[in-house]
Amino acid sequence: MKIGIAKLPLTGSFVASNLAKGPDAIDSMELLKLLEGMGCEVSESRTATLTQEEEKEYGAWHRLGLASRHLADIVADQRSRGLFPLGLLANCNGLMGMLAGLQHSGSTAMPLRVGLVWIDAHADFNTPETTLSGILGGMPVAVSTGLCLHRLRAKCGLDPALPSRYVTMACVRDTDPLEQELLDRSEIQQISVDHIKKLSPVVDLEMERLATHTDLIYVHVDIDAIDPAEVPGHGLTVPGGPTSLELASALEMMFEHPSAAAFGVAAYPATRDPDGRSMRAVFNLIEGVVRGLRDREG
């Protein structure tokens, strides 16, 4: 299995400094040893960065769009060369770039239909009209499904937007009231924490459902989805999540499906993990993904 690492560290007002350092912290000799020990070849590690001219641009959201377009280009190129893209993302705003890259990774100009498994304690389905916090990090799924910020989505390269039936959420347990109304009106399906912990057939059924509607599937994890005891440095944890090992077993199930084409992990609090507990959790998740890939190839 050939792996291509795609990093989006991000800087600016929309990402905390400890999270901005997360992708480079994960991309380490320890990760390389882990992957090689499981029979993988890490073919490359690339970082989405702004050009010199783009560095002169102003506007945090605008710069996010530019950086996300570079991430999309990396992911599309990796997949077109037969690599499995492993996204290391500062926060969940990297979602649009990962989806855009997969969407435009086909052999023709026609965009591929990309499904999304969104694993997060939060739905991130707010819009500027529904948000209580005003934080862009609470909006990436809404942006990706065409509910708001259409220019930002287009700048990221994600066009067209994903229909909401292309999305499955897992472990979501903290939503704003108006955000929940949007979810209730959408066609997004939910996998509960209990389903994840028990490795319910619902996990397989949702992967199969997405595969009937789409050409490939992206699986995204914000590590606040897991038990807060494993991510004490993350500022947005919510009680009641699965352990990293429980979620890793569910990821193994997901990546046994041939449509599962890329994995992204977001929001590792690099400077708030003195005992390495959260890094171990991230590695557990990646191990689960690789086991699934190995199982389907075997």
Cα–Cα–Cα angle for 9, 60, 129, nearest 5°? 110
Using the CB atoms, write b or e for 72-93: b if 16+ within 10 Å: bbbbbbbbeeebbbbbbbbbbb
Give the Cβ contact number of residue 187 at 10 Å: 11
Q: What is the pTM for the complete model shown? A: 0.97
H or E segment and range at residue 130: none
* Assigned architecture for domain 2-297: 3-Layer(aba) Sandwich (3.40)
The DSSP secondary-structure symbol of 225 reads G
Residues 191-217 as b or e (16 or more Cβ within 10 Å = b): bebebbbeebebbeebbebbbeebbbb
Max intra-chain CA distance, the chain? 50
Distance, CA of 216 to CA of 264 (rounded, Å): 14
H/E segment holding residue 155: helix 150-156
Residue 266 structure tokens:
């977001």
Q: Digits of tens for pLDDT over the chain (298 positions)?
A: 999 999 999 765 556 667 889 999 999 999 999 999 999 999 999 999 999 999 888 888 899 999 999 999 999 999 999 999 999 999 999 999 999 999 999 988 899 999 999 999 999 999 999 999 999 999 999 999 999 999 999 999 999 999 999 999 999 999 999 999 999 999 999 999 999 999 999 999 999 999 999 999 999 999 999 999 999 999 899 999 999 999 999 999 999 999 999 999 999 999 999 999 999 999 999 999 999 999 987 6
